[in-house]
Amino acid sequence: MSKGASQANPELLSDGRLADLNSWSKDVATQMAANDGITLGDDHWHVISAMRDYYSEYNVSPVKKLLKRSLKDHTKSDRFDDQLLDSLFPHGVLTQGSKIAGVPLPYLDVELERSTPHSKKQASAEASHFVDSFEFEGAQYPVTQTGNLVDLHLWNEKLAEFMAKKEGIDLTHEHWEILNFLRKFYFEFGIAPMVKILQKHLAHEIGTTQASREHLYGLFPGGPSRQGSRIAGLPEPQGCIDG
């Protein structure tokens, strides 16, 4: 099959998504949309471009709230609310929109399996964080294989200080500034941010100094996203976390 024919008729998975994301083109998107009964207009392309730009920058697809924020930044408008997005992509902007945009299906950290603690046999004796479970003030706290709390609702500031000390960190005001931001971000967007996303939003809301790699890694040597989210009582971030 010629290269041109391959691009015109890309291989699709059983759910209609591209088997090879590199085979995406505007013509392919137009055809995929037509197959779903959608004629792409300017607003569709705004959404598609925002999803592709986000994926290109972070190597993860945006969840809905982050997509809307990105659209607001790019269009300088609040037009892209839930009602407009649902009218553009009747089967869901995350499901149908990401398919047409040629990016992976976004997922929430709350959708990840985190109910089963890591086996003691698999846990590394060299781990600096808690593994399997730990005891604090007479209560037992199960954790995942990465040391993140299984039950996020059990977290509190005293517990965070205890978890941090296990990792050799004495929490200061600067640490809490990042931890509180991580928690705010998670409960607003439903995901714990990887470091690139963390830096971008920190710079916008707190300042470029606090968002610098030097500052963040100085506070959390084990990774501001991975280690920070663990101490903040959040799930492990998605994507390429602390690269």
User: Any idea which residues carry the catalytic annotation?
Assistant: 240
Residue keyed to tokens 């299906």: 105
Contact 85, 47 (CB under 8 A): yes
- Mutual orientation of helices 173-189 and 195-205 as an angle, nearest 10°? 100
Q: Give me the count of residues in the chain.
A: 243
- Residues 6 or more apart from 98 whose CB is under 8 A from it? 51, 61, 104, 105, 106
Q: CA-CA-CA-CA torsion for 173, 175, 178, 179, nearest 10 degrees?
A: -100
